[in-house]
């Protein structure tokens, strides 16, 4: 039975900064950020937004009443959880109006969480073909003002509806997973920002891709020519390029150029958003599908998922005839174009204005979903 992605959508907050402005403020050559890191803009979120508001906004656009009746599992992949115990998926289940007889939970393993959710959903649908599973990747990537990771921040969510006989991508059964206990990026309990060894993290990412790619090709008897494109986890857009160059340097030049051209199409949105953590791979997939005119039905797309710590996975899917009808490039372009550009002073003020969960407060925000009140440490949301 074919199982895969039937619907997919992303949401990002309505504010951003320009990376040239950030470079000037930090007295860095702007080319370091725009070429060396590969980022033009970076999404910024306010304290009235969190992983629930992003996730609800991303999911609401794609869910119809029959989906809400058929969904029997809501999975959120995140490393920006808002509670040590209760899963954000439970709140989302109510906010979205999913029928009650469903399983809702959260998965964490850095940027790998949503991929784990997808694999869990796939097995569930194979056993229950009528079921639909909502998998959402939602995160706020923050390293701190003036930190080494500052130019690689971002925020937002990707929502995916997984079903049997999907209309976008059917998953192959070719997954290759890798677990390595490495401290390249981690966030101890109680810390607002992650600890990160940036250069080690780059190296582990590249080595992980090398290992899973080689083992994947050996096990499945495949090579680069079997793939129309490869989508990567994109912490910043230069990262996937570095992994590609490290692994495909021995391939013939035409193949290198072909894969690199598709990679460029997969980073169009990330260049304007930054890191979505667990959503980044899937934001890249949306970008590839919406911005490439070189793909067609039956094409095999490789997906490289990487979560620091570190777990990685390479798997693939085939494009379904008519997949273009399930996409919405116009709405996504509009979402990005209509955002408000912040000055660096405004960004810094928003960044330091954090939500105090132990302090009762009320807020008003004109976004479809936002935190309207904190009472007794509970977040109450304004619903669209
Ligand atoms: P850094 O020390 O600020 O930068 O750290 P750099 O000195 O390494 O320079 C970056 C690049 O800019 C280099 O290119 C320079 O040559 C170039 P590269 O050698 O890498 O190809 N450069 C210039 N280019 C043009 N003109 C110039 C110029 N100057 C320099 N004038 C780093 C950069 C990304 C390490 C830092 O921002 C960081 O720590 N970020 C956070 C960690 C991260 O994103 N790691 C990625 C892999 S791990 C991962 O993906 C998982 C993650 O998403 C978390 C999770 O799983 O949850 C992060």
Domain residue spans in the chain?
Answer: 3-170+327-382, 171-320
Supply φ then ψ for residue 359, to 5 degrees: -115, 115
Residues of the chain predicted below pLDDT 50: none
Q: Which pLDDT score is estimated for 1?
A: 87
Q: List, chain by chain if needed, residues with CB within 6 Å of any ligand 1 atom.
A: 29, 31-32, 35-37, 79, 110-111, 148-149, 151-152, 185, 196, 198-199, 201-202, 205, 233, 235-236, 238-239, 242, 275, 277, 306-308
Determine the Cα–Cα distance for residues 372 and 384; give it in Å rounded to an integer.
12
- Give pTM, 2 decimals: 0.98
Q: Which CATH number fits domain 171-320: 3.40.50.720, 2.40.340.10, 3.30.1360.120, 3.40.47.10?
A: 3.40.47.10
Q: What angle do CA 133, 268, 263 make, to 5 degrees?
A: 85
Nearest alpha carbon, ligand 1 atom 11: 36
CA of 37 to the centre of ligand 1 (A): 6
Closest ligand 1 atom to 278 CA: 57
Contact, 317 vs 4, CB < 8 A?
A: yes
- Burial label for 207, CB within 10 Å (0-12, 13-18, 19+), is middle
Q: At what angle do helices 113-127 and 280-291 cross, to 10 degrees?
A: 70
CA of 34 to the centre of ligand 1 (A): 11
- Burial label for 329, CB within 10 Å (0-12, 13-18, 19+), is middle
Is there a binding annotation on residue 97?
Answer: no
Give the residue ranges of DSSP H helices in 103-236: 113-127, 198-220
| pLDDT tens per residue, range 182-239 | 999 999 999 999 999 999 999 999 999 999 999 999 999 999 999 999 999 999 999 9
Q: Which CATH homologous superfamily contains domain 3-170+327-382? A: Thiolase/Chalcone synthase (3.40.47.10)
Q: Which pLDDT score is estimated for 106?
A: 98
275, two tokens? 């890191």
171-320 has the same fold as 3-170+327-382:
yes
Comparing CA positions, the residue from 45, 54, 125, 124 lying closest to residue 96 is 54
| pLDDT tens per residue, range 83-105 | 999 999 999 999 999 999 999 99
Q: What angle do CA 9, 15, 16 make, to 5 degrees?
A: 95
């Amino acid at each position: 039975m074919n199982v895969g992605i039937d619907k997919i959508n992303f949401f990002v907050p309505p504010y951003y900064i320009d990376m040239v402005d950030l470079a000037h403020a930090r007295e860095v050559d702007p080319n370091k950020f725009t070429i060396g890191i590969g980022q033009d803009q970076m999404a910024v979120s306010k304290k009235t937004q969190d992983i629930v508001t992003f996730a609800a906004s991303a999911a609401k656009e794609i869910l119809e009443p029959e989906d809400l009746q058929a969904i029997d599992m809501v999975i959120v992949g995140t490393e920006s959880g808002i509670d040590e115990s209760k899963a954000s998926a439970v709140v989302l289940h109510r906010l979205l109006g999913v029928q009650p007889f469903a399983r809702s939970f959260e998965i964490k393993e850095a940027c790998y969480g949503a991929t784990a959710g997808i694999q869990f959903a796939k097995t569930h649908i194979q056993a229950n073909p009528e079921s639909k599973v909502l998998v959402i990747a939602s995160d706020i990537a923050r390293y701190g003002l003036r930190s080494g990771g500052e130019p690689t921040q971002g925020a937002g969510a990707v929502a995916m509806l997984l079903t049997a006989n999907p209309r976008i991508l059917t998953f192959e059964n070719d997954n290759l997973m890798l677990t390595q206990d490495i401290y390249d990026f981690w966030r101890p309990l109680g810390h607002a920002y992650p600890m990160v060894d940036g250069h080690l993290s780059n190296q582990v990412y590249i080595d992980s891709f090398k290992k899973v790619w080689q083992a994947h090709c050996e096990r499945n008897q495949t090579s680069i020519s079997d793939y129309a494109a490869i989508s990567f986890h994109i912490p910043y857009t230069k990262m996937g390029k570095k992994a590609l160059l490290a692994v495909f340097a021995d391939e013939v030049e035409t193949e290198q150029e072909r894969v690199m051209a598709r990679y460029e199409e997969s980073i169009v949105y990330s260049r304007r958003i930054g890191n979505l953590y667990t959503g980044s791979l899937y934001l890249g997939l949306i970008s590839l599908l919406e911005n490439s005119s070189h793909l067609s039905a039956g094409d095999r797309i490789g997906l490289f998922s990487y979560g620091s710590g570190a777990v990685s996975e390479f798997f693939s899917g085939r494009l379904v005839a008519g997949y273009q009808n399930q996409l919405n490039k116009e709405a996504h372009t509009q979402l990005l174009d209509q955002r408000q550009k912040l000055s660096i002073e405004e960004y810094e003020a928003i960044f330091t204005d954090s939500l105090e969960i132990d302090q009762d407060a009320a807020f008003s925000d004109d976004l479809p979903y936002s935190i309207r009140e904190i009472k007794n440490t509970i977040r109450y949301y304004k619903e669209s």
